[in-house]
Structure 1
Amino acid sequence: MKSLKVQSFILISIGFILGMSEFIIVGIINNLADSFHVGISNVGFLVTMFAIFYALVTPILTILVGEHRLKRVMLLLLSIFTISNIMTAVANSFLILSLSRVLNAVVAGITVSIAITFAAVIAPRDKRAWLISWVFSGYSVASVFGVPIGTWISDQIGWRWAFWLIVLISVVITGMFMVSLPGNLRQGKAKSLGEQFSLFKDPRILLGICLPILNLGGVYVVYTYLRPIVTSGLHFPTSFVTPFLFVFGLASLFSNQYSGRLANRDGLKSMVTVFGIQAVTMLAISLLFGLPWAALAALIIMGLTMYLLNSPMQIFYLAVAEKDYPQSMVLASSLISIFNNVGIAVGSATGGVLFNHLGLKSLGYSGAIYTVVALVLLIVLNRVRRRFD
């Protein structure tokens, strides 16, 4: 039970269950607001809080991993992840719900980072970008199937059952990981914490970490409030939310998969065009509120572009670390997930403020601003990269 196909399936499944647990809030935001008698923006803040803790704690845990066997670390992390979802399922107050999401966020970042490290090691070099893109695609598969199914369960029999489903899947994945992945994998030895963090002295890395922040910062201004946009802004019925989330998830799955293809042919150059399209799409979302179906089409296009940066950026981080900072491989593997979540925190917080003060129509405009800044920095990064080639 140790073939590459089986190991790949397990690593992708880890991405799936992490994504389902993180993204399910978007689909059940109204249900949670009703259950705990809080405002929608308060539940939206759970997304911001999750992302903040994810981004802050992941690099610290990455350092603490040190030379420990990554398989043992992963099994511990998956166990804590399961416990956090049990806490969510039984939460009897918004405080307990919030604490369970914090615990979930604390382990989620390092979990996906180690999964990516395993992917980079077990895959042949010519399949590395493919497998890494599929680990990220586990999140998109969660958007296609996990979030719509969880949303449907929440609407039909209660949101707690959606988290019990996540617990069940987590237990199965943990067992499969335990018997299938190699047990001798460790990251390179570092002489000090400063040596691991020396990665951040590289100007390519410093510019590179800004891109996922701005990319998902722009997207999550809108995405966090997708359900209110569809129902309150565009006036579609609640029953329309689940099928729309399914279609949006398909778009994001394509985004992750095509991201892998971009990575195989220097995708950072192609992202200049992608960011241009994304900025126009963001503007269209706000401008087309009077044309609901056109606005939905713009939302789907946003889904098609939102993850295209992932694999090119991840391959870029790993290439820099492998050549110049081998002691920081796990840290490099975690950068895209860390700074994606910084972007999620920035975007969801921005969306919450705009939602409360300016309304749903303002969200797309703000998202476009973030994307335009990302486009400018990408052009600068591509010029800096040429100096190191």
Structure 2
Amino acid sequence: MKNVLLLAVGMFALGFDAYIIAGLLPGISDTYDKNASQVGQAVSIFTLFYAISAPLFSSLLAGKPIKKVLLYSMLIFTIANAITALAPTFSILLLSRAIAGVGAGLFSPLAVAASAQLVSSEKKGRAIGLTIGGMSIGTVLGVPLGLYVSNVFNWKISMWVLVIIGVIAALGMLKFLPHFPTTPPPALNERLKLFLDKRVAITVLITFFASLASLGLYTYLSPLLNEISVYNNLAVYLWAWGFGGLFGSVIIGYLIDHFKKPKTLVTIILITLTLSIICIPIMINIPLLQYFPFFVWGAMGWACQAPQQHILLSYQPQNGSSAVALNSSINYLGSAIGATLGGVVLSFGTGSIMLIYFAVLSMIFSLFLQFYSMKREFRITESSE
């Protein structure tokens, strides 16, 4: 499991990077004299290129040594973060976020596949869980840590911390990771064919709208709290969200095994996620309770993906890896568009509270598709009987 830990360190850096910019928004705004909606595009561009890099580059990776691809993708990711820290202009910062997204998008699916190859069959579940867990821990611990460093020094030091983590991961993989064959991420045309299955298309659209709501709101948490909270210590709210995410990631596997009805579980998660977002402005100034919606929001947001993947695997047992990879890409695509649209909402000048309405509207679309999917499946089951 020692080699799997190296991959988990790399995933920790990815989780750190994917969410830290939301916490650094005020500092970056001051450095480049940009407003929050403009700086939010740094999140959009990272997650957009994260979403599209694996499917676009997968054909180019066919037959390439996986250790080299993992190493090069981590180096691309790390160098891009160094450019972010050094960026003299906002345009160069955006370009560096795009490059970092490419490196992250290449590394993530290969790291998960590689972790399963590094251990015996009875340890595969733990290896994959450890690798994916590295990303959630990067969010839970890395983001508040980065925000603390930013407050003590400045936001660029937080990026240099991320660079150091990337260098450690790259050097560890170079020295200790063995050479081994595995399958590269599924090709783009393979993923697009899955849309011909209406059940798959509806399922990934549910993922899309849920991620649209979640990251569209998360990205602009700083201006939102400044507007609606009398106690707007961003780091504490990020801790609550992050610990919720870690809790959701850990508990969801047990819930899936216990209930054995992932579709019902997704419905409960989506309803709870919607209610938690609605409760943010209601509970934001109630001592102690003010953190509860953020914890639940984080837990439900991170928990949603596992049952969605189980559903897709049941729909496409012969193309399971492609279906899961498609869902992952759609998740990050929704995140990118959510951050962009959140910036558009802010640019209207109607106040950050509009982000809550935007997120709830996105969740309503997700719930509508979920109820339609369940009703359609019930009809098919009934007719087959």
3-state secondary structure, aligned to 2:40 = helix
Matched, 1:362 2:354: yes
Find 1:94's aligned residue among 77, 90, 98: 90
Q: Tell me if 1:339 matches 2:330.
A: yes
In 1, Cα distance between equivalents of 2:234 and 2:177: 38
Aligned positions of 1:281-296 closer than 5 A = 281-288=276-283, 291=286, 294-296=289-291
Structure 1: gaps of 5 or more residues: none
User: What CA deviation, in whole Å up to 9, does each residue of 1:109-143 have, x standing for no partner?
Assistant: 12111112223444666665554444333232122
Q: Mean alpha-carbon deviation: is it higher for 122-131 or for 349-358?
A: 122-131
Give aligned-pair identity as a percent. 25
Q: Which residue of 2 aligns with 1:206?
A: 201
1:161 alignment partner in structure 2: 157
Runs of 5+ consecutive residues of structure 2 not aligned to the other structure: none
Out of 204, 228, 231, which is 1:233 matched to?
228
Q: Does 1:146 align with 2:142?
A: yes
Show the counterpart of 2:238. Answer: 245
CA positional deviation for 1:106:
1.5
Distance 2:30 2:297 in 1: 29
How far apart in 2 are the matches of 1:185 and 1:383? 43
CA contact (8 A) 1:109 1:337 kept: no
For the residue of structure 1 that corresponds to 2:303, the secondary structure is coil
2:110–2:184 Cα contact (<8 Å) kept = no
Cα displacement string for residues 262-295 of structure 1 (whole angstroms, at most 9, x for unaligned residues): 4444533311111111112222224445657644
Could you say what the CA RMSD is over the residues aligned between the two structures, in angstroms? 2.9
Indicate the larger mover: 41-50 or 120-129.
120-129
Taking a change above 3 Å as real, the CA distance of residues 138 and 381 of structure 1, as seen in their structure-2 partners, is farther
Bigger shift: 116-125 or 104-113? 116-125
Asked if the contact 2:115–2:124 (Cα under 8 Å) also holds between the matched residues in 1, the reply is yes
Aligned match of 1:6 in 2, 6, 11? 2
Instruction: Give the Cα separation in 2 of the matches to 1:124 and 1:261.
Output: 22
CA deviation profile, 1:66-120 (whole Å, cap 9, x unmatched): 2323222111111111110111111111111111001011221121111122234
Whether the 8 Å contact between 1:133 and 1:260 is mirrored in structure 2 is no
- Tell me the CA shift for residue 17 of structure 1: 0.4
Q: Distance in 2 between matches of 1:8 and 1:341?
A: 24
Does residue 372 of structure 1 match 2:350? no
State whether residues 210 and 366 of structure 2, in contact with CA within 8 Å, keep that contact through their aligned partners in structure 1.
yes
- Structure 1 pair 38/292, CA: closer, same or farther in 2 (3 Å)? farther
Contact 2:209 2:362 in 1 (8 A): yes
Find the residue that maps to 1:209 and give its secondary structure.
helix
Alpha-carbon separation, structure 2, partners of 1:131 and 1:385: 34
Q: Select which of 19, 30, 33 maps to 2:29.
A: 33
The Cα offsets for residues 151-173 of structure 1, whole Å up to 9 and x where unpaired, read as 11111112111111111111111
Does 2:171 correspond to 1:175? yes
Query: What is the aligned counterpart of 1:115 among 111, 115, 118?
Result: 111
Tell me whether 118-127 or 362-371 shows the greater mean CA deviation: 118-127
Q: In the alignment, what sits opposite 1:73? A: 69
Q: How many residues align?
A: 378
TM-score, structure 2 length as denominator?
0.87
Counterpart amino acid of residue 362 in structure 1: M
Alignment CA distance shift 1:378-1:66 (3 Å): farther
